[in-house]
A and B are shown apart, each in its own frame.
Chain A
Amino acid sequence: MSLVYSEDDRMLADTAEEFLLSKSPVAAQRTLRDSKSALNFDNDVWQQMVELGWTAITFPEKLGGLEFGYKGLGAVFESMGKHLTASPLLSSVVLCGSLLEQLANDSQLEWLNHIISGEKRLALAIDEKARHEPFNFQTEAVDVADGFVLSGKKVMVMDGLSADGWVVSAKHKEGVSLFIVPFSEDVIVKRTNLVDSRNYAELTFNELTLPVNALLGNPGDSIDAINHSLDLGRLCLSSEILGASKALFDMTVEYLKTREQFGVKIGTFQALQHRAANCYVELELAQSCVIAALSNADDTKSDLGLSASLAKCQVSKAADLITREAIQMHGGIGVTDELDIGLYLKRIRVAQMSLGDADFHQARYGELKNKM
């Protein structure tokens, strides 16, 4: 298992860094927030990401992908975290794309082509509770003559607004199943505004009829695929949180070196030095977990769950510590909207809660470890 980025990964990371710095810096996210855009991400930037090949990175060549692996994609997510870039890369490509890759039949693979080409977006509708509990849901699919009838309500659907369709989990008489629901006026889509000003939707299905070919994979046989795709999402999200935390930490260390009180730089106070050093320690530990999990996704898929939960838990905890310290060490100016600290705090808070927070992943890690 390789715990360092390869030459190729680093080249990808450099391109990403260069691109995002010029096309999607933090200031652009602030503008996006203040303009109350309907989409909550910049579609031009998104199309350029597609042109850069980011939507194809992980998929095999025979499906139109670059077969480049998750370590490379992780580097891209880290960069997006650093610049707070909002995009449907996670929702459409990582989560829905990987489900299609695992489960789609030939005609359903059309969706994957469209996702890679950026023509269409899918969003994953799985959560129904306030906290992430992927297999605790009520949404139900009932067999009818020429298809299914779907009823239920999904929350926290990332990038679910203005999507071309949704991948929806539902109870079926055979067990947990997945359905592709193309956009339709019959689906009630409600906007959810969260502190990170990104795109979230609540979806309600009132006895929506779906054709036979809406079913993704075999009925009652999608738990493993869901877990696998969620884990891939968690890795990418962990990389994003890591990137955001590093940026925030760098800003804070810089401030310790410039702000003066009592005639000295505040970074000379040992009380602050040790805490900053501690943040560094936690970041480094988290980074190892993230890169190990990315590596795992590329090499062996066997214990992806364990390493994904380890990464998401450790990085979320490190991120919480760093946001808290960043604010505190900036003093009064740290709680103003003028600085970017608040933007990082808000994004990190939502990201660490999405797809399972530290407590969720700690518990899951324990369960998986027990089974080994």
Chain B
Amino acid sequence: MVDLEEFRIQVREWLEDNCPESLRTPTPDGELIWGGKTPNFTFDDQRLWFERMRDKNWFCPTWAKEYGGAGLSSKENSVLESEMRKLKCRPPQINLGIWMLGPVLLKHGTEQQKQQFLKPMARGEVRWCQGFSEPNAGSDLASLRTSAQDMGDHYLVNGSKIWTSYGDKSDFMYALVRTDPAAPKHQGISLLLLDMHSDGVKTAPIHLISGKSSFCEVFFDNVKVPKDNLVGELNGGWQLAKELLQHERSAMSKFGEFQLPTHFDLMSLFNDYMPAPHTPSEQSLFYKAVEADMQEHAYNLTVQRLTQEMQAGINNFGLMSIMKLVHTEQEIIKFELLLDAMGYRALGWEDNNFTEQEQAINRAWLNSFSQAIAGGSSEVQLNIIAKRVLQLPENKGAQT
């Protein structure tokens, strides 16, 4: 193993030489690059950065080389991440597949599946979406009803999904489907990889309060899926789903880093919009912001501790299960305070008399509410902490 300090120097040199200057700023709204069949580049530096990082195998730095990764150790990966942060490099691309499905396929996929799905994923060639939730299966995910029927040489999928983020823009979906309607609800579910370009797949966008429509409904009408696309055991999908959701939650507690202005620095924005707080009301707001900043500081230290505990091989399920909850709840509070400080400047709507930053803050505020619902609501996170971490007794009335 190369000495870590030496590795750090190499990484920094490479980033300095290869990350275009124009991409060393926070990513503005709408300039996030999503990997997939047709990445949405708006200017050439984005393509350059995408291709350079891809060819370095740094979309998935810790994956094994044979599956398109760079084979970095967790410590080396931390070095890479921290150097990228220092230079303010934008993420070259983002892709739900890499964060969520990837680790599950690495662990449970067949060799053929790894070759077929991981490599293009690691090259940013396929955009993935998550088909879990259904109209009547949200927090109670296990009561999902979309079915996959065994037709001998393929599965036939029927039903619908809802709240599928970017479902209309994705190439593939990892979906939870019911493969045994007779079994108890947790035991008849499987994880299937489904080509969104197949016949019988339809999507309908849903409009959000932020004015965007980043998620949609997805309908399946006799969609054929090859049997090789079943991940893990038949009817063994629930266990995989739990693992996958764990990956989603850690990704979500990190996701904000990529998108201005989530993970924004509250104190510095306060300084922009409310410099030298002078009235009593400004001062009281200022101290609320200080409180939120200290809470966030505690969270950031916990992120670091979590990473180090993982590197040291310490079992930290308890710690892991608080991260998404803490982060998303903190973001909501931070946005409320930022809005208070900005007054009407934070409330502009489709009006170019407001700066780009002000408009981005407005949308991010409206979006902050979503984060405490997506990926398992805050209540579900608290239930997990109470039940699985603290092992408090169940209320027999409700079969959660």
Whether B373 contacts A261 by the Cβ 8 Å rule is: no
> Given known contacts A331-B138, A331-B373, A367-B280, is B378 in contact with A194 (CB within 8 Å)?
no
**B contact residues around A196 at 8 Å (CB):** 347
Q: When the two chains form their complex, are residues B339 and A263 in contact, meaning their CB atoms are under 8 A apart? A: no
- The interface residues of chain A lying within 8 Å CB-to-CB of B339 are 349, 353
B349 CB to closest chain A CB, in angstroms?
Answer: 5
Which of B58-66, B89-97, B259-267, B392-400 lies at the interface with chain A?
B392-400
B209 within 8 Å of A (CB atoms): yes
B31 CB, min distance to chain A CBs, angstroms: 23
Q: How far is the CB of A260 from chain B (nearest CB, A)?
A: 8
Q: With both chains docked as a complex, state the minimum distance between the C-beta of B196 and any C-beta of chain A, in angstroms.
A: 20
Which residues of chain B are near A346, meaning CB under 8 Å? 209
Pair A331/B377 contact, Cβ less than 8 Å = yes
Q: Which of B208, B350, B377 contacts A193 (CB 8 A)?
A: B350
Interface stretch (choices A90-98, A107-115, A266-274): A266-274
Given A328-B377, A335-B373, the answer on whether A194 and B349 have CB atoms closer than 8 Å is yes
Number of interface residues, chain B, beta carbon within 8 A:
53
- The answer to whether B138 touches A363 (Cβ under 8 A) is no
What residues of chain A lie closer than 8 Å to B342, measured between beta carbons?
A: 130-131
Query: B379 — which chain A residues lie within 8 A by C-beta?
Result: 269, 271-272, 328
Most chain B beta carbons < 10 A, residue from A190, A194, A260, A366: A194
Please tell me if B140 contacts chain A, counting CB pairs below 8 Å. yes
In the complex, whether A362 has a CB less than 8 A from a CB of chain B is: yes
In the docked arrangement, what's the CA distance between A345 and B362, Å?
13
Q: Contact at B353–A194, with CB atoms within 8 Å?
A: no
The CA of A202 and the CA of B354, in the complex, are separated in Å by 12
Cβ of B377: which chain A residues have Cβ within 8 Å of it?
328, 331
Q: Considering the complex, give the chain B residue whose CB is closest to the CB of A131.
A: B343
* CB-contact partner of A262 in B284, B336, B344, B400, under 8 A: B400
Chain A CB within 10 Å — which of B143, B280, B383 has the most? B280
| Cross-chain contact B369 with A261 (CB below 8 angstroms) | no
Stretch in contact with the other chain, from A180-188, A215-223, A241-249, A336-344: A336-344
Encoded as 1 (CB less than 8 Å from any B CB) or 0, chain A from 316 to 350 comes to 00001000100110011011111001100110011
Top 5 A-B residue pairs of the complex, sorted by shortest distance between their CB atoms:
A342-B209, A130-B343, A131-B343, A363-B280, A193-B351
Residues of A within 8 A of B (CB): 129-133, 155-156, 190-197, 200, 202, 260-264, 268-269, 271-272, 320, 324, 327-328, 331-332, 334-338, 341-342, 345-346, 349-350, 353, 357, 359-360, 362-364, 366-367
